[in-house]
Chain A
Amino acid sequence: MTDYFSDVMTGLGNVLSFPNIFIPVIGTVVAMVGSFLPGIGNTSLAALVLIATIHWDPVSVLLMFGALTGGATFMGSITAILFNVPGNAPSAAVLLDGHPMARNGQARTAIACAATASAVGSLFGILALLAILPLVRPFLLEFGPLERVLLGIWGLSTIISIPNSSPSRALAVTLLGLICAMIGSDPTTGLERWTFGSLQLFDGFGNVAVLLGFFTLSEIIGWRKSYTISSEDRELSTGSTLEGVKAVFRHPGLTLRSSILGSVVGVIPGVGGTVASFVAYSQAVQTCKRPETFGTGDIRGVIAPEAAVDSKDGGSLLPVLAFGLPGSEGGVILVTVLGIHGLTPGLPMLTDGLSLSLTLIFALLLSNILTSIIGVSLSPALARLTRLRIDRVALPALVATLVTIVQLNGFLADLYVAVAFGLLGFVFKRLDWPRVPFIIAFILGAFIERNFALVLPLVSVGRINFWDRPAAIIIAALIILSMLWMLSGRKKAQLEKAKPRGPEDTVLAGILCIITLALALAPFYTRGSYSDYALTMAWCATALLGAITVLGAAGGRHPRLEPAIARIHLIPVVLLALTPPLVWALGLPVSMAALTFAWLMTGTEFSVRRPMPIALLALLVFAGTFYYVAEFAGLRLPDPAILTVMDGLPFG
């Protein structure tokens, strides 16, 4: 124990000594700036830093990479809260309540709360890590496919308590989310499933493309000035920083539960922050009183995912340090970093190299605390951004979102996916279909299926026995307890009764029913691998949506959308729908310029009488996008189709 304490002090000394302290500070700032730029992923940034630090000494490198790991996590939440644009996939859970808070004039509170929850979660994660580090190897081996699938089911069980929705619609969208998560290749055979021959769908829908489409693009459609944000809204306060900080400590149970959850999820290789944040959000909905306020700007919906994501950072170091098993791309880089500098992950990092492991851990802690301090300090300034006129925020947000989507993998298909999910999200929102269970099912669906597909054969060959696995028993007990809690009379009474079904509701259910029916029948006319699990989901969704359609058609009346509102939304809907084919035909920079021009020409702020500033702005967007894509981001996009056509012409 004395040795352990001595190593702890050495690790702390490495971080806090002069001039070492500057390294994590610089690393944190680099990671924060990098993660704020669209599409510059933390992994790419780390890969570049890896090359630049080859000749550094091990302590300095560990300080830098600890800071890079911690610095990038929080910043994604800022854009999620302010503009509904998640900087990374794990931040998407924060926007569910964070952005509604900003819309309700509480941006400052939300940012301060997220920063505080992040710091507390991180501190908890690191303390938990320090506590279990000497015993970590047997602990880690407790988490296999069975525990993972149960963890996923626990997250999914939240649909029971989805507020403001009928259970049948919540279940239907959950099934749809699971089906969307299964598009791609079968996890066991590797054969195509529901890709309809598209190579770019081979690995399924990209998480970020779906999240940005479903939440951000759908939101931007609703951001036409004359519809959503009125001038009165802009006069609202942006909330209180102190209130945000205090909120975390007013919910100690929630913060603690989410931090524990994040730490546990972190130590499981391959699970990651996105699952951690959504399971934590689900857990908050399940266990909190008055769940009906979630999704409308409930501060508990900010605390839970934020605490979980940051406490996960500490836990995620464990598999790397204890076994050399990276659970993420960031982990792969960390293993490489350790290897470069002669450090062997595994037992050596927990014995002779323990002080170096602790240096990495403390650098991560320092970085997380720094980002939180910066977040709290900047919250008043950042919150003022929400006072900008929404029509002026919408265009930059739209262009940044579209560039990010295309830049992720350089796939045009991602743009189609994002726009399709943007329109779907908008329709869900307008017709009051629940969006949260859909996205939770989508995020957890692939994770559940992959592990479920492992559990079945492992059970059949006798390599897994539920009763021999204490972690599985504990998670199963948690699932049962939380479901009983949600189904208890008190909770049930809080669920809003199903709203009357109307023509639009029925039409949407009918369309979704036809789509799932087509997918359920797809095995008969497309090649590929369709597990029983996948087909069961498709048939169940078809049956449920069919029932909603039939019952809806026979049901009551519902007021139609106001025609004026529909026309306002028609313009962004049409522009968005035209964007993917435009990018295909003209390339990204020209399309962004054209989109900017059309957006402003059809807006209420500018008019045709002022074409010059509009044209200049469009030109600026073109130049900026071109420079960013070609020079800065280094993205290689497919040639615009129009150039290919011109190649065949005499003057081409």
Chain B
Amino acid sequence: MRLPTAAEIITGAGVGLLATQAVAQDLSQACIDQLSDAPMSIVVPNSAGGGYDTYARALAPPLAEAIGTHVRVVNMPGGGGLIASTEVARQGDDEILMLLDNFIDIVTNTDAVSNDVTPDDFAAVALVVSEPRAWIGPPDLDLSDPELTTLIASGGTLQSSILDIGLVARALGLDVRVIAGYEGTSDNTAAVLRGEVDFTSQSMGSALRNLSQNGLTVAAVLDDQPAGAAPEAPLVGGDAGLVMMRAAGLSEEERQARMDAARAAISLSSTQRGLVTSAAMSADRLDCLRQAVWAALQDPAFVEATGAQGREIDPLGWEDAELMLSEARDAWMAVAPEAEALMDAIRP
């Protein structure tokens, strides 16, 4: 018989601990009545099969068990996520809809694209995981090289590349032009592999997968703290980060401007996968929903299902999630007036 590995023992102990916590946080009958009163759905702004869908499908069964009713997963792709977020913001009292999406995307989409829904229409329920983005490129891409001034990047659209490419490029003092129109992570990675572009921006999870699969390198982590899975990868922010390196010798004013851009880029480029619902939901129901989701996020079934699929989780409760959502709103509001200029700067 095979003995369990250290990792399995730690995982098992963690699952057991979380299970204990979940039991301790059983919902009150009043909350169960409140939530089972209306059909509940987790809305995913993408088609079935992606990362958000995986989290939603893993979360639905323990959530259903917690409240004693069926929880549907509704895939609502389209409009860059705006259709799903609009649907959730405008939900009626006869249903409970939660959107599982990136907080930054919710804020930027509803503010920049939609005239009907604003970031203030959402209340945070919980955060599932937060991870930084990273620039990946060929192994010889060295962003600390002061001689490096011009780069070509691939991206989805110019609009979606403003934050994780345009703003970061400004912080690093690089002239980056984005070839926009590539579809999804795969297409962008393929563009780097074919040598059409110098780098592309991806979530850290995707970037690490590319490291092992295709021999690419993480040229920069858009963070100021070392990433757990890639501690050696160069950081954009921080005292020893790429921005400080590339700003050496510049005036204090210029250095400060670049550091400000880096801070904004870091806060607006990370992928914060979390759940939100309509801010118009009654306070009692919202409170119960937050409790139920928190219990489900700690349920061993959810931990096991996401872990088995290689998906990281690091849940945060509604207070922290609300704070992150609020910070995302503030950071975006500071950058929004410059969005057009940033788009022009990265246009080929």
A189 CB contact (under 8 Å) in B49, B82, B180: B180
Cβ proximity bits A174-187 to B, threshold 8 Å, 1 near / 0 not: 00000000000111
Interfacial chain B residues near A410, Cβ < 8 Å? 74, 76
A409 CB contact (under 8 Å) in B41, B76, B114: B76
Cβ proximity bits B263-285 to A, threshold 8 Å, 1 near / 0 not: 00000000000000000000000
When chains A and B are docked, how far (Å) is the Cα of A50 from the Cα of B159? 34
Q: How far is the CB of B59 from chain A (nearest CB, A)?
A: 12
Residue B227 CB within 8 A of the other chain: no
**A188 to B181, Cβ gap below 8 A?**
yes
Residues of chain B in range 50-76 having any CB-CB distance to chain A below 8 Å: 50, 53-54, 57-58, 72-76
When chains A and B are docked, how far (Å) is the Cα of A340 from the Cα of B73? 21
A460 CB contact (under 8 Å) in B194, B210, B310, B348: B348
**B193 to A188, Cβ gap below 8 A?**
no
Residue B186 CB within 8 A of the other chain: yes
When chains A and B are docked, how far (Å) is the Cα of A411 from the Cα of B210? 36
When chains A and B are docked, how far (Å) is the Cα of A199 from the Cα of B85? 11
Interfacial chain B residues near A347, Cβ < 8 Å? 213
Q: Which of A16-24, A40-48, A364-372 contacts B (4 or more CB under 8 A)?
A: A40-48
Residues of chain B in range 194-245 having any CB-CB distance to chain A below 8 Å: 194-197, 209-210, 212-214
When chains A and B are docked, how far (Å) is the Cα of A55 from the Cα of B160? 37
Cβ proximity bits A462-473 to B, threshold 8 Å, 1 near / 0 not: 011000000000
| Given contact pairs A325-B190, A333-B49, A189 touches B159 in the complex (Cβ within 8 A) | yes
Q: How far is the CB of B309 from chain A (nearest CB, A)?
A: 5
Residue B47 CB within 8 A of the other chain: yes
Residue A301 CB within 8 A of the other chain: no
**A51 to B49, Cβ gap below 8 A?**
no
Residue of A nearest to B304 (CB): A54
| Given contact pairs A199-B79, A346-B213, A450-B183, A340 touches B308 in the complex (Cβ within 8 A) | yes
Q: How far is the CB of B172 from chain A (nearest CB, A)?
A: 19
**B186 to A269, Cβ gap below 8 A?**
yes
When chains A and B are docked, how far (Å) is the Cα of A463 from the Cα of B182? 15
Which residue among B73, B181, B186 has the maximum number of chain A CB atoms within 10 Å of its CB? B181
Interfacial chain B residues near A270, Cβ < 8 Å? 183-184, 186-187
**B190 to A269, Cβ gap below 8 A?**
yes
Residues of chain B in range 140-197 having any CB-CB distance to chain A below 8 Å: 152, 156-160, 177, 179-184, 186-187, 189-191, 193-197
Residue B86 CB within 8 A of the other chain: yes
Q: How far is the CB of A342 from chain B (nearest CB, A)?
A: 9
Residue of B nearest to A454 (CB): B181
Residues of chain A in range 107-133 having any CB-CB distance to chain B below 8 Å: none
Residue B48 CB within 8 A of the other chain: yes
Residue A144 CB within 8 A of the other chain: yes
**A454 to B182, Cβ gap below 8 A?**
yes
Residues of chain A in range 40-71 having any CB-CB distance to chain B below 8 Å: 41, 43-44, 46-47, 50-51, 54-55
| Given contact pairs A43-B47, A190-B158, A324-B214, A51 touches B186 in the complex (Cβ within 8 A) | no
B158 CB contact (under 8 Å) in A47, A188, A323: A188
When chains A and B are docked, how far (Å) is the Cα of A43 from the Cα of B193? 27
**A463 to B214, Cβ gap below 8 A?**
no
Residue B305 CB within 8 A of the other chain: yes
**A346 to B83, Cβ gap below 8 A?**
no
Which residue among B58, B73, B152, B194 has the maximum number of chain A CB atoms within 10 Å of its CB? B194
Interfacial chain A residues near B187, Cβ < 8 Å? 269-270, 325
Interfacial chain B residues near A203, Cβ < 8 Å? 77-79
Residues of chain A in range 320-346 having any CB-CB distance to chain B below 8 Å: 323-327, 329-333, 336, 339-340, 344-346
**A46 to B49, Cβ gap below 8 A?**
yes
When chains A and B are docked, how far (Å) is the Cα of A330 from the Cα of B47? 10
Which residue among B182, B186, B193, B212 has the maximum number of chain A CB atoms within 10 Å of its CB? B186
Residue B14 CB within 8 A of the other chain: no
Q: How far is the CB of B339 from chain A (nearest CB, A)?
A: 12
Residue A134 CB within 8 A of the other chain: no
Interfacial chain B residues near A145, Cβ < 8 Å? 196
When chains A and B are docked, how far (Å) is the Cα of A77 from the Cα of B207? 39
Interfacial chain A residues near B92, Cβ < 8 Å? 639
Residues of chain A in range 200-225 having any CB-CB distance to chain B below 8 Å: 200, 202-203
When chains A and B are docked, how far (Å) is the Cα of A25 from the Cα of B254? 66
B80 CB contact (under 8 Å) in A47, A202, A461, A634: A202
B212 CB contact (under 8 Å) in A331, A344, A461, A464: A344
User: 26 interchain pairs (CB within 8 A)?
Assistant: A47-B48, A47-B49, A55-B308, A141-B193, A141-B194, A187-B157, A187-B180, A199-B83, A269-B187, A323-B190, A324-B210, A329-B48, A330-B49, A331-B186, A332-B50, A333-B49, A336-B49, A339-B209, A340-B308, A411-B83, A450-B181, A450-B183, A457-B179, A461-B177, A463-B179, A464-B196
Closest 6 pairs between A and B when the two form their complex, measured CB to CB: A346-B213, A190-B157, A202-B79, A325-B186, A457-B348, A190-B159
A-B contact sample (6 more), CB < 8 A, given A188-B157, A345-B213: A44-B48, A144-B196, A186-B157, A199-B79, A199-B82, A411-B78
A residues engaging B (CB < 8 A)?
Answer: 41, 43-44, 46-47, 50-51, 54-55, 141, 144-145, 185-191, 199-200, 202-203, 269-270, 319, 323-327, 329-333, 336, 339-340, 344-347, 409-411, 450-451, 453-454, 457-458, 460-461, 463-464, 634, 636, 639
